[in-house]
Structure 1
Amino acid sequence: MKQPRTLVEKAVDSFLQSLRQRNASVHTIKAYAQDLTSFATYVGPRRWSRIDHLVVRGFLSELYAKGLSKTSVARALAAVRSFYKWLAQEGVVEQNPAKLVSTPRLPKKLPRVPTMEEVNAVLDGDLPDNAAFPERDRLMLELLYGCGIRNSELVGIDLDSIRTSESLLLIRGKGKKERYVPFGESARQALDAYLPARQKFLAEKKKSTPSLLINLRGARLTTRSVGRIVKQIAVARGLSSDVHPHTLRHAFGTHMLEEGADLRAIQE
């Protein structure tokens, strides 16, 4: 004999019907139906007053026990919260017990590292037509990738930080620690092209600054500006819009490891 539908099961049916009336997508309704059917089965014939945050927590524990991922469990909790929000709007319940349950911490997705070919396409390709200071932007890219330095370290470089004869940069890192970082031939060429352009620009603006990289006002370039410029160039060369200065630093380390470099040497 078929069991009569429980209070919660009937409410789930009504909630799903309300989603259809609001023209929710088929995919959304299917996801809610799956999660809330599981919830209704778990709570069984309990009345609303007997379903508290401990019951909701027990439901999530059962999902974990069945082998569901944190992402799936988080989605189920979100479905229960939405269900209870609707119940409150309908005057069925006064409180939402799911609000008292913490969302599972989801694992952070590791950023995709551009391939060596993709990075070379950015470094070797033409800069966007709207590049305001192409010599500076080229040097910026060469130092970020070729030296593997941080955005904050890049903008902190002064003219007197450069030891041209030895191809070294004095980098002031976290905790005011200083270290010398070598730069290669590509960076040297970019530096040789930029310095005269920088000097001319500052002379025209009648400005003076110790900063190596300058903005269009003749002042030190900011990390925010570096991020914006890197993204513009990357997108123009066909890379994802989520590329930022740290992406080039990450690529530097990854590509060195792929070429057989020692991890400790990279970290230093």
Structure 2
Amino acid sequence: MAAPGMGVWQHAGGLDMLHDLQAAVSEYIGWLQLEANRSPNTVRAYQSELARLTSFLAANGHSLALGDLRHEDLRAYQRHLAGRLKGPASRARALVAIRSWLRWLAREGFMERDLSNGITLPKL
């Protein structure tokens, strides 16, 4: 089990895996701060964008289990952003944060596959 406040872990097949999106976001934010040495503004922006994603998924009946996250969920959020955010730069900023998180999840072995390849950025 991870330290308090550092996410919820379950042991499966020799791999430690986060099992919910909110814990995965928390772990990623900690990594951004401590290991990636990102600026406080970047960390806040990424945290905000990932919180918006999880809120959208919860409000629209999508599972918050990490293993249940699918390309379809991410495409639904992209459509939501296209309707909510005026400019392509704002949408791109949100999607860059999500894509970075998804790549981190795959690289660290928390997800079996990298879902970031399904995230396309709007043309600026």
Q: Which residue type is aligned with residue 46 of structure 1?
A: L
Deviation at 1:9, TM superposition (A): 1.1
- SS of residue matched to 1:39: helix
The question of 1:75 aligning with 2:89 is answered no
1:20 is matched with which residue?
A: 33
2:56 is matched with which residue?
A: 42
Deviation at 1:48, TM superposition (A): 2.8
Match 1:52 to one of 59, 66, 70: 70
Structure 1 spans left out of the alignment, 5+ residues: 107-268
Match 1:11 to one of 7, 24, 35: 24
2:108 is matched with which residue?
A: 90
Deviation at 1:53, TM superposition (A): 1.6
Of all paired residues, the percent bearing the same amino acid is 27
78 and 67 in structure 1: CA distance in 2 versus 1, 3 angstrom threshold = closer
Output aligned runs, 1:227-246, within 5 Å: none
If the length of structure 1 is used for normalisation, what is the TM-score? Answer: 0.35
Output aligned runs, 1:1-268, within 5 Å: 7-22=20-35, 23-44=37-58, 45-106=63-124
Structure 2 distance, partners of 1:11, 1:58, is 20
Q: How many residues align?
A: 102
Relative contact order (alpha carbons < 8 A, sep ≥ 6): 1 or 2 greater? 2
Q: Which residue type is aligned with residue 40 of structure 2?
A: V
- SS of residue matched to 2:23: helix
Alpha-carbon contact 2:54-2:64 (below 8 Å) kept: no
Deviation at 1:52, TM superposition (A): 1.6
Alpha-carbon contact 1:70-1:105 (below 8 Å) kept: yes
1:128 is matched with which residue?
A: none
Structure 2 distance, partners of 1:41, 1:87, is 19
If the length of structure 2 is used for normalisation, what is the TM-score? Answer: 0.72
Deviation at 1:56, TM superposition (A): 0.7
Larger Rg computed on CA atoms: 1
1:188 is matched with which residue?
A: none
Structure 2 spans left out of the alignment, 5+ residues: 1-7, 9-18
Q: Which residue type is aligned with residue 105 of structure 2?
A: L
1:181 is matched with which residue?
A: none
Structure 1 distance, partners of 2:42, 2:114, is 21
Structure 1 distance, partners of 2:119, 2:85, is 20
| Structure 1 runs, 4 residues or longer, greater than 4 Å off | none
Structure 1 distance, partners of 2:89, 2:56, is 19
Structure 1 distance, partners of 2:26, 2:123, is 30
